Chain A
Amino acid sequence: MAHQEKSEWHSFGRQSFEKRRCPICCILPPHMLDKLLQQDDDEQRHSALSTLRASEQFRGRRTVVRNVSFAVSPGQKRRTIYDAKTGTSLPGVLIRGEGDPSSDDQAVNEAYDAAGATYDLFREIYERNSIDDRGLRLDATVHYDSKYENAFWNGDQMVYGDGDGRFFNRFTIAIDVIAHELTHGIIGYEAALDYKNESGALNESFADVFGTLVKQRSLQQTVDQADWLIGTEQFTSKVQGIALRSLKAPGTAYDDPVLGKDPQPAHYQDLFQGAFDDGGVHINSGIPNRAFYLTAIAIGGFAWEKTGKIWYTTLRSGLRSSSSFKDAAAATVAVAGQLYGQDSDEQKAVQSAWQQVGVS
């Protein structure tokens, strides 16, 4: 019922039952788009907006499919992997469904396996049933576009590019990158953190946190054994860098003559305050990332157990869409107190971690 209260989503032509979920955050409502279309008779604008309106993202493609699939097998892992064959039409050709044997295509199997590992962490450790906690089928498309150097969750499904091959490997290669994207889906159904400024950096940080937890659990690594990096396989050997991001030491993941240097701050005093990147959502996430890392190291053991539980519970019930770093610090401290006791070692670990990154 928690979702019901956050029902101000602009459903954009979806049926009303869809409103409880947030497939695409802050989507433009139809009346606004209509207004824009009518407001200006400039031909170019009209055609651009018409194109936009007709585009995949605005159609709510899975509205019907989702509705049907709810009734099928809730509580079970259901994965479906498609191939866009280097085009941009989604979802593409069906290649592998749940329980099907491995494909000859490595990208298909990686997308399938990592979605499974992500589902399993949330199901087995946090008792969450898929992205929406209602058994949503996990759809993914590989080989999207040509040389596309990205992966994303479009509100309906996962999408993976092949990378340019020169600097970036295929975007299914790293389990934590896949789990990062699926976590964006979960965040959309929970705190729905606004994708800008500090709330947006928290959105990115939660995605990195559960990204690395899925990886650490798949390798059965304790906090001391884990590398605390995101996407160690993502770069080709040509790139001077070890990963896309470091939770342990933000700002140190890469420094390459062509691709530039890791811009992440590790402390609040170095907060990026420009407009770039939605107010630095991929930049400032270094700060809460490090707070998570420091907490996990202090608590010890497997990070997905106690520390992950604090962060997951906070994501579910401790934050709102506009939450700041300070709000997140207060919420994780409060949750740690509820779960492990006031003044418990766990709560102190959380408090100390946020202090160390300058947020308290």
Chain B
Amino acid sequence: MHISFERSGGVTGMPVTVALDTESLSSEEVSQLYQLIESSSFFELPAAIPAPVQPDRFQYKVIVREGDRQHTVTIAEPAVPKTLKSLLDWLIEAARRHQS
């Protein structure tokens, strides 16, 4: 499975981007990731969810490719469902872990 993730916005304006491949992740990370993709029903989420524009809120773009299926979700913070938030938080952590 391949994941590409980016977060923009926030008052800091500091971008977070990462590309992850499960082949280069630990088995613990891989199992966490599959669980979060599952619990967020990621592949069933709409590609874009409308949200009010609020300055300095975060925006996210997540692309997951697994086998022959690929799905992209672009979403602004006010529209993020709780179930997806855990995945986004995990990806931020992973981005920072794998950056250094």
Contact = CB atoms under 8 A, between A and B. Distances in A.
Nearest to B10: A150
B1 interface: no
Contact of A155 (B12, B46, B49, B52): B52
A270 B9 CA distance: 20
A355 interface: no
Range for the number of chain B residues in contact with chain A? 20 to 34
A149 B14 CA distance: 11
Interface in A12-59: 12, 24-28, 32-33, 36, 42-45, 48-49, 51-52, 55, 57-58
A57 B12 CA distance: 22
Given A257-B99, A277-B8, A277-B59, A245 B13 contact: yes
A129 interface: no
B11 A152 contact: yes
Given A44-B44, A180-B11, A277-B8, A150 B58 contact: yes
B99 A282 contact: no
Of B11, B15, B45, B46, most buried by chain A (CB within 10 Å of CB) is: B11
Nearest to A234: B12
Where chain B touches its partner, the secondary structure class is loop
Interface string A142-186: 000000011111110000000000011001000001001100100
B67 interface: no
Contact of B9 (A55, A153, A257, A278): A278
A180 B52 CA distance: 20
Contact of B52 (A27, A43, A151): A27
A231 interface: yes
Contacts of A25: 52-55
Interface of A: 12, 24-28, 32-33, 36, 42-45, 48-49, 51-52, 55, 57-58, 149-155, 167-168, 171, 177, 180-181, 184, 187, 195, 203-204, 207, 231, 234, 244-245, 254, 257-260, 263, 276-278, 281-283, 285
Given A55-B78, A231-B12, 13 more contacts: A44-B44, A48-B45, A48-B46, A48-B81, A49-B49, A152-B11, A167-B96, A195-B53, A195-B55, A263-B15, A276-B8, A277-B15, A282-B10
User: Which 8 residue pairs spanning A and B have beta carbons closest together?
Assistant: A282-B13, A277-B8, A27-B52, A44-B44, A184-B55, A152-B56, A26-B53, A150-B10
